[in-house]
Amino acid sequence: MYRLYFCRWASTFSTRYTAKNEPILEYRRGSKEVKQLEESLNEYKSKLNRIPCIVDGKEVWTNAVQRQLLPFDHRHVLAEYCLADPALLERAIESGVKNRSNWELMPVEQRANIFLKAADLASDLKWRSRLLATTMLGQGKTIFQAEIDAACEVIDFWRFNVQYLASALSYSPISTRDSENTYIQRGLEGFVAAVSPFNFTAIGANLASSPALMGNTVLWKSANTAVLSNYVVYKILEEAGLPPGVIHIKTLWKWVADNIDKYRTFPRLMGECGGKNFHLIHSSADPTTIVYATIRSAFEYSGQKCSACSRLYLPRSMSKNFFDQMKSIMTNELKIGSPLQHDTFTSAVIDRPSFDNIRNYIEYARSSPTTKILIGGECDDSIGFYVQPTLIETTDPKDKLMSEEIFGPVLTVYVYDDNKYDETLELIDQISNYALTGSIFCKDEKVLKKTRERLMQAMGNLYINDKSTGAVVNQQPFGGARLSGTNDKADAYIVHINKITKNNTNDNHHYSFILCIEDQSTVRVVKYLSKVPYCSLHNRLKESLRSGRGASITSLREQNDQYTCTMSAKVTDKDLNFRPECIRVKNINILKNEINDRLCTVEAQICSISDEIAVVFEENEFKRVQKVKKTVIGDATGALEMTMWESHFNEIELGKSYHIRLLKIRIYNEQISLAAATETS
């Protein structure tokens, strides 16, 4: 348990601090963020970046040096970094233990402000572009993948950790007439060792900074293949005012248990490792949704996310359509290449050992009588460590491709008989030793309930009708059990080590497009939540806007987050067969977006308040809506429903404007039901 000594701090530190998720920038060509990013990319790529060890805030250069290469062009040396010897490690440990007392006794609000300032610095384009550039170059991430990791998630961790700290400080034990009880929290005795992986810059930032926020000193061992981006993280913290001797950077590691008999106290471990994550498809699932969700989960960042889908269970009745769609998209719409190009879907895997390991699994699939490579399987290391996204079908549900973690762009599918769904649940739970994430695609509520109960121990994060990747700080607390880790959830990391296993569920009812028909030959579209990879938007809309009279899109124009589609023939509402990812409205300005990865924000005004909900309307369009928990609005004319917690009612005022964050949207025939949360504008 990370404990803070806060007897004198609790009265001065505000326990009402509330963090917000960092908005995702779009990086449109010609934008300020693109220009700044290109400058940073050129800066880091044009030189050999040298990285020292950091002890007591001072740079220490050693003779033992290793190199960090570009994964997509291993001929290019990006950085050289120093390795620490045992003497330097001992020096760092002594410094950490010595500095802990002063750091821990610093007023907690001062510590918190350092990390809040770091978040503000990372949000600014100067440091944001450096985080993205070093993550793209060193770890092979595309612009979008680097943005959601090295910028947004890093910032989210720093801000939300302060919120969690405020929550921890708000606790006070009950006192009686005879006694006064005081709850004192303090930092850990000794120091904290943070060992971070390559695949998320944000994980390194969080592992090193969250114990420090709580008053501990930290020895941070970065992954060798992420050392440059992690060094940039440290420089941001340094500029934000982190005192010397709080976080030391080392590029070495020794197993904790090697010297356990010499420890004065048992080491406290918190681990988030990999997974053999699944997509389970029920016969009631939407065919298009499962294809795009699976492509994104399995192949974004070349399957190198801990939560990436690498095994899929498919009912036989849906197999032909699924495989046909997967082959078409993987062949025609996924560009594999340099992450520095805007239209690249994914790039190379991280390094030679990873490349060799993935290739060995693919070669096994080629030779196994129970597996068949349907598409992909090509491996080329002549320039970079490139592995093509690979789709495999197996007839053996216990094959090692269904149970062992590969950590690459390899997806194995087992086709089950539709009448053996229950047996398939047993396979999912028992065949793998991992339990990180899983997704269920199903429209049958009874089946969903049964499936969730049966697979309760098979994952730490459960997604319903959504991909198994993409957890957002404070929205889907992330972590798993079994060989996937100690299931301590990133959101709870700095508060305590939990004694129970938690399952976090993301029930996805978001849709991809909001649209309206301006005239009989023009359709306007706002991208709301894109489930699809960066493929052809034209092809996606063409599938979504199927016309009963054969009309198709002849041109597509983009302006201010909106798309104007010119149709080949005149169409009306009745002519268009809307796909599930489309929401139809009469006036697109009613739902004008602030695009966010998970939330759509509109400004609305309170017109009435009932016992359970507040009904709001856009732009003073006051219309009568039934006051019930689930309000269904015909044709979505602008009415929204906010489900309020009791504590919110003191903050809600009739006639006052609020920003409404849409959380859930369901389609009932041609009507829409919306649920929302509120923030005072």
What is the tens place of the pLDDT at every residue in 630-677? Answer: 333 333 333 333 333 333 444 555 556 555 444 433 333 333 333 444
Q: Are residues 328 and 398 in the same domain?
A: yes
Q: Are residues 283 and 233 in the same domain?
A: no
**Choice between 669 and 334, residue whose per-residue pLDDT is larger:** 334
Q: Are residues 497 and 545 in the same domain?
A: no
Q: How many domains does the chain have?
A: 4
Q: Are residues 101 and 144 in the same domain?
A: yes
Q: Are residues 403 and 452 in the same domain?
A: yes
**Choice between 183 and 159, residue whose per-residue pLDDT is larger:** 159
**Of the residues 584, 612, 645, the one at which a domain ends:** 584
Residues 234-251: tens digit of each pLDDT:
999 999 999 999 999 877
**Choice between 471 and 501, residue whose per-residue pLDDT is larger:** 471
Q: Is residue 23 part of a domain?
A: no
Give which of 586, 542, 590, 595 is closest to 566, Cα–Cα: 542
Q: CATH number, domain at 75?
A: 3.40.605.10
Q: Identify which of 3-17, 88-102, 411-425 has the greatest average pLDDT.
A: 411-425
Quick one: pLDDT at residue 280?
95
**Of the residues 490, 506, 522, the one at which a domain ends:** 506
Residue 281, both tokens: 């498809």
Quick one: pLDDT at residue 546?
54
Q: pTM of the prediction?
A: 0.72
Q: Which residues pair with 70 in a beta bridge?
A: 73
Active site residue 603: no
- Within 10 A of 645 (CB to CB), how many other CB atoms are there? 7
Q: Which of 22, 153, 272, 641 is catalytic?
A: 272
Q: Are residues 387 and 337 in the same domain?
A: yes
Question: Which of 82-86, 190-194, 226-230, 562-566 shows the lowest per-residue confidence on average (mean pLDDT)?
Answer: 562-566
Q: Is residue 122 part of a domain?
A: yes
Q: Are residues 315 and 422 in the same domain?
A: yes
Mean pLDDT of the region 200-220: 93
Q: Is residue 2 part of a domain?
A: no
Judge whether residue 347 has pLDDT over 70.
yes
Q: Are residues 334 and 311 in the same domain?
A: yes
Cβ-count burial 1-32 (b if 16+ within 10 Å, e if not): ebbbebeebbeebeeebebebbbebebeeeee
Residues 410-455: tens digit of each pLDDT:
999 999 999 999 999 999 988 888 768 899 999 888 998 899 888 8
Residues 584-640: tens digit of each pLDDT:
444 444 443 332 323 344 444 554 444 434 444 433 332 333 233 333 333 333 333
Q: Is residue 27 part of a domain?
A: no
Q: CATH number, domain at 655?
A: 2.40.50
DSSP 85: P
Per DSSP bridges, beta strands 504-507 and 461-464 are parallel
Strands (E), 379-512: 379-380, 386-387, 390-394, 410-416, 434-435, 437-441, 461-464, 481-482, 504-507
Q: Is residue 9 part of a domain?
A: no
The C-alpha atoms of residue 455 and residue 461 are separated, in whole angstroms, by: 11
Q: Which of 152, 306, 565, 607 is catalytic?
A: 306
Q: Are residues 478 and 400 in the same domain?
A: yes
Q: CATH number, domain at 425?
A: 3.40.309.10
Give which of 206, 211, 281 is closest to 246, Cα–Cα: 211
Provide the residue type at 376 as one letter.
G
**What is the residue range of 98's domain?**
32-262
Q: Are residues 502 and 526 in the same domain?
A: no
Q: Is residue 421 part of a domain?
A: yes
CB 98 within 8 A of CB 374: no
> How deeply is 48 buried, as exposed, middle or buried, from its count of CB atoms within 10 A (0-12, 13-18, 19+)?
exposed
Q: Is residue 625 part of a domain?
A: yes
**Of the residues 487, 506, 525, the one at which a domain ends:** 506
Q: Are residues 182 and 290 in the same domain?
A: no
Q: Is residue 227 part of a domain?
A: yes
The C-alpha atoms of residue 11 and residue 118 are separated, in whole angstroms, by: 24
CB 246 within 8 A of CB 216: no
pLDDT tier for residue 581 given thresholds of 50, 70 and 90: very low
Active site residue 306: yes
Question: Which of 340-344, 384-388, 592-596 shows the lowest per-residue confidence on average (mean pLDDT)?
Answer: 592-596
Give the chain's mean pLDDT.
76
Q: Are residues 408 and 523 in the same domain?
A: no
